[in-house]
Amino acid sequence: MSELHIYPNRKQFMFLNSTTRHTAYGGARGGGKSWVIRQKSYMDAKNYPGIRICILRRTLVDLTKNHLEPLKLMTKGDAKWNGKDYCFYFRNGSIIQFAYCDNENQVTHMQGIEYDEIFIEEATQLPEDWLKKIAASCRGINDFPHRVFYTCNPGGPGHQYIRRLFVDRNFKGNEKPEDYSFIQAKVTDNKILQKYSPEYVSFLDNLPPKIREAWRDGSWDVYSGQFFDFVNDPDHYDDKLWTHVINPFRPRPNWPVFRSFDWGTFRPSSVGWWVLSEDDVLYRIMELYTVQHSGGEAMPDMGTGWPSEYLFQQIARIEREHPWLAGKRITGVADPAIFKHQDGPSVAEKGMLYGVYFQEGDNNRIPGWDQVRYRMQFNQYGQPRIQFFKNCRDTIRTLPLLEHDEHILEDVNTKMEDHAADDIRYMCQLRKVKPLVPEPEYNPLWGIDPLGQFERRRA
Which of 152, 184, 215 lies at the terminal end of a domain, its last residue? 215
pLDDT in tens, 56-113: 998 888 888 889 999 999 999 999 999 999 999 999 999 999 999 888 888 888 878 9
Report how far residue 154's alpha carbon sits from residue 121's, in angstroms, rounded to the nearest whole number.
13
Residue 221 domain-assigned?
A: no
Other C-beta atoms lying within 10 Å of the C-beta of residue 2: 7
Q: How far apart are CA 244 and CA 436, in angstroms?
A: 16
Whether residue 421 lies inside any domain: the answer is yes
Q: Which residue, among 367, 360, 387, 358, has the nearest Cα to 432 in the 3D structure?
A: 367
Count structural domains, the chain. 2
**In a shared domain, residues 184 and 260:** no
Q: pLDDT tens digits, residue range 34-44?
A: 999 999 999 99
Mean pLDDT over 401-410 rounds to 81
Q: Is the pLDDT of residue 196 over 80?
A: no
pLDDT at position 373 is: 92
pLDDT recorded at residue 210: 64
Residue 169 or residue 2, greater confidence: 169
Same domain, 270 and 408: yes
Query: By three-state DSSP, how is residue 316 classified?
Result: helix
What per-residue confidence (pLDDT) applies to 450? 40
Query: Is 368 found in the same domain as 338?
Result: yes
What does the alpha-carbon distance between residue 454 and residue 439 come to, in Å, rounded to a whole number? 21
Mean pLDDT of 419-428: 98
Residue 207: per-residue pLDDT: 66
Cα–Cα dist 60/144, whole Å: 28
**Residue 208 to residues 9, 200, 455, Cα–Cα distance (Å):** 28, 15, 31
* Residue 458: pLDDT band with limits 50, 70, 90: very low
Higher-pLDDT residue of 140 and 274 is 274
Residue 455 lies in a domain: no
- Do 421 and 291 belong together in one domain? yes
User: Do 87 and 176 fall into the same domain?
Assistant: yes
Residue 453 lies in a domain: no
Strand partners, 246: 389
In a domain, 134, yes or no: yes
Distance between start and end Cα atoms, the chain: 54
The pLDDT of residue 208 is: 55
- Confidence band of 6 (pLDDT split at 50, 70, 90): low
CA distance 388 to 286: 8
Nearest in space to 99 (alpha carbons), one of 44, 143, 153, 41: 41
Q: Are residues 255 and 388 in the same domain?
A: yes
Q: What pLDDT is recorded for position 30?
A: 83
State mean pLDDT over 299-307: 93
**Nearest in space to 31 (alpha carbons), one of 132, 126, 154:** 154
Of 104, 115, 99, nearest to 45 by C-alpha is: 115
Name the more confident of 400 and 431. 431
How many CB atoms are located within 10 Å of the residue 254 CB?
8
pLDDT digits (tens, 9 = 90+) for 311-364: 999 999 999 999 999 999 999 999 999 999 888 899 999 999 999 999 999 999
Instruction: Please tell me the distance from the alpha carbon of residue 297 to that of residue 96, in angstroms, as a whole number.
Output: 33
Spatial distance between the Cα atoms of 275 and 252, rounded to a whole number of angstroms: 9
pLDDT at 459: 35
145 in a structural domain: yes
Mean pLDDT of 418-426: 98
Query: What distance in Å separates the CA atoms of residue 348 and residue 356, rounded to the nearest whole number?
Result: 8
pLDDT tens digit string along 131-153?
999 999 999 888 899 999 999 98
Residue 182 and residue 263 in one domain = no
* Residues 38, 151 within the same domain: yes
Q: Is residue 98 part of a domain?
A: yes
User: What is the predicted pLDDT for the residue at 165?
Assistant: 95
In DSSP terms, which residues pair with 293 in a beta bridge? 298
- Based on the domain organization, do 247 and 107 belong to the same domain? no
Burial class (CB in 10 A: 0-12, 13-18, 19+), 327: exposed
**Tell me, what's the pLDDT at 223?**
61
Domain containing 199: what range?
10-215
Instruction: Give residue 305's pLDDT.
Output: 93
Look at phi and psi of residue 340 and say left if phi exceeds 0, alpha if psi is from -120 to 50, else beta.
beta
- Cα separation, 424 vs 262, in Å, equals 9
CATH assignment of the domain containing 69: 3.40.50.300
The pTM (predicted TM-score) of the whole model is: 0.58
CA dist., res. 372 & res. 429, Å (int): 8
Is it the case that residue 124 has pLDDT exceeding 60?
Answer: yes
Torsion of CA 29, 152, 373, 250, to 10 degrees: -140
Q: What CATH number corresponds to the domain at position 260?
A: 3.30.420.280
Contacts of 239 (CB under 8 A, 6+ apart): none
Residue 262's pLDDT is 98
Are 198 and 249 in a shared domain? no
Q: Which residue has the higher pLDDT, 229 or 349?
A: 349
Tell me the average pLDDT of the chain.
88
Asked whether residue 322 falls in the same domain as residue 185, the answer is no
- Which of 65-79, 181-195, 267-281 is the most confident on average? 267-281
Q: Are residues 201 and 301 in the same domain?
A: no
In 3-state terms, what secondary structure has residue 205? helix
Q: Answer yes or no: is 17 within a domain.
A: yes
pLDDT tens, residue by residue, 231-270 = 887 777 888 888 899 999 999 999 999 999 999 978 999 9
Per-residue pLDDT at 299 exceeds 60: yes
What letter represents residue 405's amino acid?
D
248: Cβ contacts below 8 Å, ≥ 6 apart: 285, 389, 390, 391
